[in-house]
Amino acid sequence: MLIDSHCHVYGFKIDELKNFKEVKIIGVAEDYESSIKNLELSENFSNIVPFVGFHPWNIPDMRNKEIEMIIQLVKKSRGLGEIGLDKKFREKYLDSQVKVFELFCDIASQNNLPMNIHALNSWEECFKTITKYNVKRVLFHWYSGPTHLLKELYYQGYFISINPAVVIQPKHRKILEEAELEMILTESDGPYMYRGMYLNPSMIRDLLNFIAKVKGAKLEDVEKTIEENFSKFLG
């Protein structure tokens, strides 16, 4: 089975989504509307696993009661995300980011839900927060943080996802080389243009091949391990 563990499914046209039916996709959200959209899409597409969340980039545009409205949707979802902290693009709003993130960590912990985390330039902070709240199942999406933190994530049973951009992003490739296969998931983060690459779930097959090549492992073994990792993450 092909796995896309982090994808903004609501951003695709329905006709395009139909092309990704062989990929099991976690649909992450960025606000109230996309959280609703993910839940609706999962009713029509059995390969979509709906998450609800609030992206740290949207903190400046957060509306009154929006977080409470998203929290109302949690019981219909399979997990929380995309949530987290971002000190690269939204450092000015860090206090509000922390408040929202901690609130979601608390909900994940209380309800034993998986979290799909955005942690750009905030890898250590996010790690500290999720361990403080004792969140059990966590995915650090498109991990490009410090390599020394990988061991701690692995020890805690947390996961990271590798993006198709790994072929052109040396920092991310280094992570792929260093990380244990037992902590790796595949993702597209689509639909998104990254340095000329149109990221979408149809890239997962090539990504698996690339991972197998870098890891010096058999494609079937890599596919099977990632499938197992996915089951552990979702619970």
Residue nearest to Zn ion (CB): 189
Answer whether 34's CB lies under 8 Å from 13's CB.
Answer: no
For position 86 contacting Zn ion by CB under 5 A, the verdict is no
- The dihedral built from the CA positions of residue 13, 16, 22 and 27, taken in this order, carries a sign that is negative
Determine the size of the site formed for Zn ion (CB under 5 A).
Answer: 2
DSSP state of 65: T
The smaller minimum CB distance to Zn ion, of residues 117 and 184, is found at 117
Residues composing the chain: 235
Window of 97-105, 143-151, 182-190, 206-214 that interacts with Zn ion by CB under 5 A: 182-190
The smaller minimum CB distance to Zn ion, of residues 116 and 225, is found at 116
Helices (H), the chain: 14-17, 32-44, 66-73, 94-111, 123-132, 147-156, 170-178, 204-215, 219-234
First to last CA, the chain: 17
Q: Smallest distance, Å, CB 6 to Zn ion?
A: 6
Q: Which of residues 110-149 bind Zn ion (CB under 5 A)?
A: none
Q: Smallest distance, Å, CB 141 to Zn ion?
A: 6
Window of 66-74, 79-87, 94-102, 108-116 that interacts with Zn ion by CB under 5 A: 79-87
The smaller minimum CB distance to Zn ion, of residues 84 and 108, is found at 84
Q: Smallest distance, Å, CB 75 to Zn ion?
A: 23
**Burial class for 126, CB neighbours closer than 10 Å (0-12, 13-18, 19+):** buried
For position 189 contacting Zn ion by CB under 5 A, the verdict is yes
CA 54, CA 207: separation in Å to the nearest integer?
A: 27
> Binding residues for Zn ion, per CB under 5 A?
82, 189
